[in-house]
Amino acid sequence: MKFIVDITDEAKEDFKKLDKNAQKKITRAFEWIEEYDIEFVETKHLEDDLYEIITDNVRALYGYQKEQIIIIAVIFLKKTQKTPVKFKEKAKKILKKEIK
């Protein structure tokens, strides 16, 4: 099943803060999801309806809308083993208003 990756305005701002190498990594992951499937990238279920795309040290937190649309809420460089609570809370808040 192919997906549509929709990036929120907040995630676009996060993306702009990444260096060029990090931007390439996460962009490649989004392209693979749209071209092939979500199963072609490394992901992790964090909690409830919150998931994480994993590319080396770059992470994108997302949720699903209508089963085939992936809403990217937050993009960041991961510096610790666990996903920081502040990013999860920010993503949940964004997804709550984005997912209908």
pLDDT tens-place string over residues 18-28: 999 999 999 99
Stated pTM of the model: 0.93
Measured between alpha carbons, how far is 74 from 51 in angstroms, rounded to an integer?
11
**For residue range 54-100, what is the model confidence (pLDDT) as tens digits?**
998 999 999 999 888 999 999 999 988 889 999 999 999 999 999 86
Separation CA 81–CA 33 (nearest Å): 24
Q: What's the rounded Cα separation, in Å, for the pair 46 and 52?
A: 7
Predicted local distance difference test score (pLDDT) of residue 66: 87
Residue 5 pairs with which residues in a beta bridge? 70
Q: Match domain 4-98 to its CATH number in 3.40.50.620, 3.20.20.70, 3.30.2310.20, 3.40.190.10.
A: 3.30.2310.20
